[in-house]
Amino acid sequence: MSTVTMAPADAGAGSEAGTGNDGAVQSADVVELARALGHQFADLSLLRDAVTHPSLMGLERAGRKSHKGPGIAYERLEFLGDRVVGLVVAQWLLERYPNEREGALAKRHAALVRRESLGRVADTIGLGAYLRLSPAEASSGGRENRTILGDACEAVLGAMYLDGGLEPVTRFVRQALAGEIDKATPPPLDSKTTLQEWAQGRGKPLPRYELIEHSGPAHEPLFVVAVHVAGLEPVTGSGSSKRIAEKKAASTLLRQVGVQVDD
């Protein structure tokens, strides 16, 4: 999918220099976002809610509600979108891998719906330019924050579902993730699950993960995590989220005990 063409400068596309009447840092027009999604919204306020960061909750006009939507920030739509994407991907995997067992399908599903995958989908439509952020969130790099982009992507898909049902979400998700699903010839390995199974198979307690360090700015954090397994020296891993750091620590420990993993 090609990156969307942003709205012209006088519409405030990608601008963080000024704020609107409601205190939001100016962002690209959601009409352009709807075009990038390939869906004509009957209720554009749903899409506007889906790109509104919770940091604006105290700045919005009191009492504003969507016609159909659940509120003014994306958190509730994100909750819905997470479930909708999960359903769409699950059905797609059943069709694509008719002979695969549940465990392998579950691993593929987890890889496709994780925040990193949705963040890449957000990148393809230039979602960061459409986010409605408080001045503080915008100045701290909110438009590039991978967590915010992944969450907002789920919210956008939740809004699309409320507005048009499952069909437009299915069409968009299958197009956006086509490259991801085609890569996964063998089921993706999850190092944390593999380490857990390795430990249990030897009668050991479950691995324990400990946050050692959290540093860096909000838009580029660094987490350092140690994994503890009975009878072994702790091993650390680092990454831009706790989950990534935990996976890296698990991968390193698995390699030390002679188990090869992909992540």
154 known member of a binding site: yes
Exposure string over 19-51, b if 16+ CB within 10 A, otherwise e: beeebbbbbbbbebbbebbebebebbbbbbbbb
- 82 as an active site residue: the answer is yes
Task: Please tell me which residue in 82, 100, 123, 180 is annotated as part of the active site.
Answer: 82
* 145: Cβ contacts below 8 Å, ≥ 6 apart: 218, 219
100 known member of a binding site: no
* 23: Cβ contacts below 8 Å, ≥ 6 apart: 56, 59, 60, 134, 135
163 known member of a binding site: no
Tell me which amino acid residue 39 is. Answer: H
Task: Please tell me which residue in 49, 154, 190, 246 is annotated as part of the active site.
Answer: 154
- 213 as an active site residue: the answer is no
Q: State the binding site for Mg(2+).
A: 78, 151, 154
Q: State the binding site.
A: 78, 151, 154
- Residues taking part in catalysis: 82, 154
